[in-house]
Structure 1
C-alpha cells in the first residue's frame, strides 16, 4: 500500500512508500529501483546514475531529500507527529551498486533493500519514543492508506511528480568534452 499524506505547506499530497510505527518512532522508507553505479551525498540536490560502463550518465533527485519532504508532511499531521522521532530510510533494490554515497545525519540510513532488518535492529537500540496518542497515529496512517488508494489523489500526485521530473532520471550532457574529442579526432585524420 502507498501512503498519501496531505502536505499543508504545498497544498498537495506527499506519497510515501512505507511507514512503520515502532516503539522508537516512525520509520519512513523510500524504495528505489535502479541499476548501475550510484553516486551522491545527502547535501547534493541530484545524484548520478552511471550505466553502460560509464557511457551513459543520468541524474535523479536526491532520495534522502525526497524522503525528508515526506517526513515534513508527516510532521505537519499533528502536534504529536511533530514531536515523534522519524527515521529517514532509503533502500535501493535492483542491480545497482552504491559507489560513493555519503550521509551523516542522525536517523538517516541508505542501503540495499536486503539490509532492512539490520537498519531496524539499529533503530531498535535508540530508545523508546513518547507517543501521546497511539490511536491518533493509527487513524492518520489508516487515512493515508485510503488516500493512497484514491485514484484522483494518486493521479494528481503523479502529475505533480512528473512536472518536477523527480522520478525520471535525466541525462547528464557534457558538451565541451564531446566537442573536444571530435576536434582531436579530426586533427588526427588530416594529412
Structure 2
C-alpha cells in the first residue's frame, strides 16, 4: 500500500509547524525580550533626546577585575553620564532600593529577579573607575518596558517607558564641559571590548558564574535582602558567628551560620 498520499499532508504541515515552533521559542526567550527592550529604549533616546547634547552609546562590554560587565546604554551629556539598565518585563513588579531581589507576579505565578539597581551599581562603578568621575557626574537609571506595573513605590531613577527620558532631562545642572564629554566618549569607545562572539560567550559565562555564586549566598528570611556575617557580642552566645540582615536595624532577619 502506498502511504505517500497519506503522509504528504503531514510532511507539508511539519514544514510550517517546525519554523513556527522555532520562531515561538525565539520570541519568548529572555535574549529576544532583552533585545526588544533595548531597541525600544534606543528609539526613545533618538526621538526625544537632542542628539547635539545627548550622545548614546549602546551595548558596551567593559573588562573588570573579575571578568566583564555589559552595559545596555550609556548616555553622555554635559549634565552627566547616565547608565541605563533595561528590563523588558510584564506583570506586577514589587521591590524597593534596599532589597536584593524584587518580585514579578503574573496572575498566581511569582518569581524573584535581581534588584536592577544593584545590578546597575557594578556598571556605574566600572565606568567611574574608567572615566574618573565623581558621584555627581554619573547617574544610574533603570527603565522597564513591556506590560509591567509597579505595585510598590519606586525610587525616581526606576522608571517605566519614556519616564527615563524625563529623568535624564530633569538634570539641568552642567557637570561636564564639551571637551570632557568628547573625552569620555572616546575613552568608552577605546576601552570597550569588541562585539565578537568570543567576548559575548566569555561575558555570558561570567554572568552565569556570578548568578551561581549569588544563589549559594544566604538571603534574609524576612526581606530577601543581602546578609553579612556578624558576631554575638554579649550573653551566653558571645563570640558565635551568625548571618544578619544587612538592612539592620530596619530588618532583623538572622540565620545560623551552619545554614550557609
TM-score, scaled relative to structure 1: 0.72
Partner of 1:163: 209
Greater RCO structure (CA 8 Å; 6+ sep):
1
Partner of 2:190: 143
CA distance in structure 2 between the partners assigned to 1:150 and 1:137 by the alignment: 23
Partner of 1:90: 142
> Which of 44, 47, 67 is the matching residue for 2:120?
67
Superposition CA RMSD, Å: 2.1
**Contact 2:61–2:70 (8 Å) recurs in 1:** yes
How much does 1:147 deviate?
Answer: 1.7
How much does 1:13 deviate?
Answer: 1.2
**Contact 2:77–2:176 (8 Å) recurs in 1:** no
Query: Where in structure 1 do 4 or more consecutive aligned residues deviate above 2 Å?
Result: 81-84, 130-136, 162-166
The gaps in structure 2 that reach 5 residues or longer are: 1-57, 213-260
1:122-151 C-alpha deviation (Å, 9 max, x unpaired): 12x2x111357444312222135x525122
1:63-118 C-alpha deviation (Å, 9 max, x unpaired): 00111110011011143x35661111000011110111433xxxx60111222331
The gaps in structure 1 that reach 5 residues or longer are: 167-191
CA distance in structure 2 between the partners assigned to 1:101 and 1:47 by the alignment: 12
Q: How many residue pairs end up in the alignment?
A: 154
**Contact 1:76–1:82 (8 Å) recurs in 2:** no
TM-score, scaled relative to structure 2: 0.54
Structure 1 position 3 matched with structure 2 position 3: no
